[in-house]
Every structure is written in structure tokens, then in C-alpha cells.
Amino acid sequence: MSIRLSREKINYLSRKILDRLFVDDEVEFLDESNDIRLSILHSIEEEMKLYDLIDKKAIEKIESQKKPIKDGSREWEILYRKYYNDEINKLGKFF
């Protein structure tokens, strides 16, 4: 259920974010634009890894149920959203 982004899409997004920052008069750049873009790219990749981990934890919780739950069923979807949100909320306590 997790979202996958290709390397090209992440590069595209990092350029778009940087372009948006360039037109904001309140943003001052202290590093070279490519260094900033690479930092943005790295941040997106790390965020995607985090959401992949949350996705895996939610699925593991569903699979650990005593009663087998069919993947794609309404019950599976409800549990997935609940467990996924539970993991997100746990993160909020740490940040």
C-alpha cells in the first residue's frame, strides 16, 4: 500500500521545491543551489523510507492476527488504516 517514487520523480520534486524557494523573497540561500537540491532529495528519500517502514509495521500487525484477514478486504483496509495511523501517532510523540 505504500507509495513508491522513482529516482526521476524524486529528482523532479527536489527541483520543483528548490525553484519555489528561489522565488520566495523571504528565503536566503547560504549554500550552492545544487547542494540544497541534494539535501531536499535526501530528505524526500528518508521520508519515503520512514513511510515504507510504517507500512510494513501496519501489515505485520494485520498478519499477526489470530484470524486470517484477506488482503484487500474491507476489514483489512480498516485495520491497515488504524495500524498505520497508530504508527504515525507514535512518531509524533518522538518529534
- pLDDT tens for each residue of 14-34: 999 999 999 998 989 899 999
Q: What is the pLDDT of residue 32?
A: 93
d(CA 77, CA 74): 5
Q: What is the pLDDT of residue 1?
A: 60
d(CA 46, CA 42): 6
Residues 6+ apart with CB under 8 A from 89: none
- Higher-pLDDT residue of 92, 33: 33
Angle separating helix axes 74-94 and 33-63, nearest 10 degrees:
130
Q: Where are the domains of the chain?
A: 7-94
- pLDDT tens for each residue of 57-83: 999 999 999 999 999 999 999 999 999
The H or E element that residue 46 is part of is helix 33-63
